[in-house]
């Protein structure tokens, strides 16, 4: 049985329609998954916006300390923080009007999922956007 937060149709919708991705937890540390996933998003034509307390520039993009500091609309907020910290980030994403929230592999918070979807915000949890983009490329006969 597919859990609603791993719905392939929602995943495809987010990957197709969301162009600007705020990546919460993204820093200049190349060893972290957020660094590599953000790089993959860029390779697929997405604009990434680093969100980290140090507000570092990453992959040539200006960083911001928190979501509310971003001065332009964000389509999707991808979250690379521990599960116990992720729910408040989802709430911040809703507050800034993001269309989608994406919790990376291993990050689950069903209450946050329920809050997000109750507002009409689509949400994915426990999935890797880079893996899903590669899977999609394979279905379309493209290599990444």
Q: Which tokens belong to 111?
A: 């209450």
| Greater model confidence, 83 or 35 | 35
Mean pLDDT of 46-70: 97
Mean pLDDT of 59-75: 98
Q: What is the CATH number of domain 18-51+58-110?
A: 3.40.50.720
Does the pLDDT of residue 14 top 90, yes or no? yes
pLDDT (tens digit per residue) in 79-134: 999 999 999 999 999 999 999 999 999 999 999 999 999 999 999 999 999 999 99
Does the pLDDT of residue 144 top 50, yes or no? no
- Collapsing DSSP to helix, strand or coil, 25 comes out as coil
The pTM for the full model equals: 0.92
């Amino acid at each position: 049985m597919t859990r609603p937060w791993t719905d392939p149709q929602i995943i495809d919708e987010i990957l197709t329609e969301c162009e600007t991705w705020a990546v919460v937890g993204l820093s200049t540390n190349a060893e972290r998954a957020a660094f590599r996933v953000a790089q993959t998003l860029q390779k697929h034509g997405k604009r990434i916006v680093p969100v980290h307390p140090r507000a570092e520039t990453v992959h040539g993009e200006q960083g911001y300390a928190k979501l509310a500091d971003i001065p332009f609309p964000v389509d999707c907020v991808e979250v690379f923080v521990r599960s116990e910290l992720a729910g408040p980030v989802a709430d911040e994403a809703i507050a800034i009007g993001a269309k989608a929230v994406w919790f990376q592999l291993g990050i689950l918070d069903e209450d946050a999922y329920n809050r997000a979807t109750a507002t009409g915000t689509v949400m994915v949890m426990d999935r890797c956007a880079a893996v899903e983009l590669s899977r999609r490329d394979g279905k379309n006969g493209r290599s990444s």
